[in-house]
Structure 1
Amino acid sequence: MIHYKTDEQLIAIRRTGRIVSACHREIAARIKPGVTTLEINKFADAFMRKHGARPAQIGYKGYPFATCASVGDVVCHGFPSAVPLKEGQIVTIDMVAELNGWMADSAWTYAVGKVSLEVERLMKATKQALYRGIAHAVEGKRLGDVGYAVQQIADREGYSVVEEFIGHGIGRRMHEDPQVFHRGKPGTGKWLRKGMVITIEPIFVLGDPHVRIDNDGWTARTVDGTWGAQYEHTVAVRDGEPIILTR
């Protein structure tokens, strides 16, 4: 069941989204060689609480951390680690905050120092695909239009899309209807209507898009060890330009 949000509820989600985006800005300044993702997790946890929000990922289906921290071939749901980040790596930090009962979700891939041109190009294409998908998240479009917009960038640039992990509705709960796929056919799928709030969160990889899950039950990494990047925003569907609630 899709929950359509009122203007007042969108304002509430936007307040949460501002905390998430502000936290990401602070994290961007802290990512560097020698820093650990456990340190980043501790910072994000304290930042959200300082601003009155709850780190919503803690306890979700048993997940123990405030953030997911995915390095290199880990494409999502990686556990924060005490292993120092190294020059040339990439790390995706994903977080969900809850403020006054409303949630917002955003993930961002960060370069650790200077990365290779190949990895830089991967990051740029994935981010471009996120915003191309967002541009189609408007009243009267369909979810297949969003997925197709993302897929076009991947196909054009020669990347694979990880299909096991998708976007979703969000609001009072972390995961609501509808499911948001990052591949699709134009003019297919559920209609996008004003008041829907969804996440768009493509993952592009350099090689095989299939993943395996580590023994912790969470960490998803590519089967061939190649690296992946992910960018995610929480977006409100409107009649006209969509609103990015985690900008």
Structure 2
Amino acid sequence: MIELRTPAEIEQMRPAGAFVARVLQATAAAAKVGVNLLALDRLAHEMIRSEGAESCYIDYHPSFGASPFGKVICTSVNDAVLHGLPHDYVLRDGDLLSLDFAASVDGWVADSAISIVVGTPRDADLRLIETTTRALDAGIAAATVGNRIGDISAAIAAVAHADGLRINTDFGGHGVGRTMHGDPHIPNNGRAGRGLPLRDGLVVAIEPWFLLGTDKIFTDPDGWTLRAADGSRGAHMEHTVAITDAGPVVLTARS
């Protein structure tokens, strides 16, 4: 079911968005060469406890997950692009790390993701992150009252296709509110002018993610982590956005 939020409810979602942004900034800053992924998960967990927030991930068990997630942040490295389950891995120089985090504050959820390079960057990784960031910006710019879901999807796809990237539509953006994942689904490829009309009060997570060499993925033996079928690297960017008559409002904006 698609729900529309009042202006007062959107204001009530701001603390969740600000908290999610702070956690991503803190974990990204802590992601140095020699740091274990489990340490990043502990940092996020400590921030959840100290702020009185609730994890959206730790007990999360959708149909595509092998078991409850069991951690509070997704840490996807190199050829892993989505749902990376934190494990005993020490970050190395040049790793491409995607962090995806969602939490509930006072009953409202926000969801966001960022990709960074740990240590010495590869030019190709920086270009991929830059493209994914531009795709997110394009999707947000299209999230205006009077447009349709397809306009967001088409805006994201135009950026990816211009840089020669293929697009997987199995996972994409989604509604956000009292729960982490709701309607509508927002694929990262689509036709402008098609799909659900965008109305004032719709709150969605817009999340382009791309792989350098393929649009095919497979699931790790851990039952969660999604990897590129050809071993190429991936990047993932996401913001929670409120669609309003005054324009899109990014609730998870990072300072």
TM-score, structure 2 normalization: 0.95
Percent of aligned pairs sharing the same letter = 39
Aligned mate of 1:84, from 86, 90, 101: 90
Q: Is contact 2:28–2:99 with CA below 8 Å preserved after alignment?
A: no
Residues 1-39 of structure 1 deviation map (CA, whole Å, 9 limit, x = unaligned): 111011121112111010010111112221111011110
- Cα distance in 2 for partners of 1:39, 1:69 equals 11
Displacement of 1:216 after TM fit? 2.4
2:243 to 210, 226, 237: 237
Q: 2:182 aligns with which of 176, 187, 190?
A: 176
**Matched residues, number:** 247
1:86 counterpart SS class: coil
SS at match of 1:91: strand
Q: Classify the secondary structure of the residue corresponding to 1:70.
A: strand
Specify which of 202, 205, 214 is matched with residue 211 of structure 2: 205
Q: Counterpart of 1:26?
A: 26
Pairwise CA RMSD: 0.9
Deviation at residue 56 of structure 1 after TM alignment: 1.4
Structure 2 partner of 1:141: 147
The question of 1:17 aligning with 2:17 is answered yes
Aligned partner of 1:57 in structure 2 is 57
- Is the CA contact (8 Å cut-off) linking 1:161 and 1:202 kept in structure 2? no
Q: Distance in 2 between matches of 1:214 and 1:17?
A: 30
The offset of 1:184, in angstroms, is: 0.8
Conservation of the 8 A alpha-carbon contact between 2:144 and 2:198: yes
Gaps spanning 5+ residues in structure 1: where?
none
List per-residue Cα deviations over 1:35-66 (Å, max 9, x = no partner).
11110010011112211211111101111000
Q: For residues 189-242 of structure 1, what are the alpha-carbon distances to aligned partners after superposition, in whole Å with 9 as ceiling and x for unaligned?
A: 110001000001111111111101122221110110000000000000011320
Rounded to whole Å, the distance in 2 between the matches of 1:238 and 1:144 is 18
- Deviation above 2 Å: which 4+ runs of structure 1? none
Kindly provide the CA deviation profile for residues 169-197 of structure 1, in whole angstroms up to 9, marking residues without a partner as x. Answer: 01111111101111011100110001000
Asked if the contact 2:214–2:230 (Cα under 8 Å) also holds between the matched residues in 1, the reply is yes
Which consecutive residues of structure 2, in runs of 5 or more, have no partner in the other structure?
62-67
So what's the TM-score if we normalise by structure 1?
0.98
CA distance in 1: counterparts of 2:129 and 2:168, whole angstroms? 14
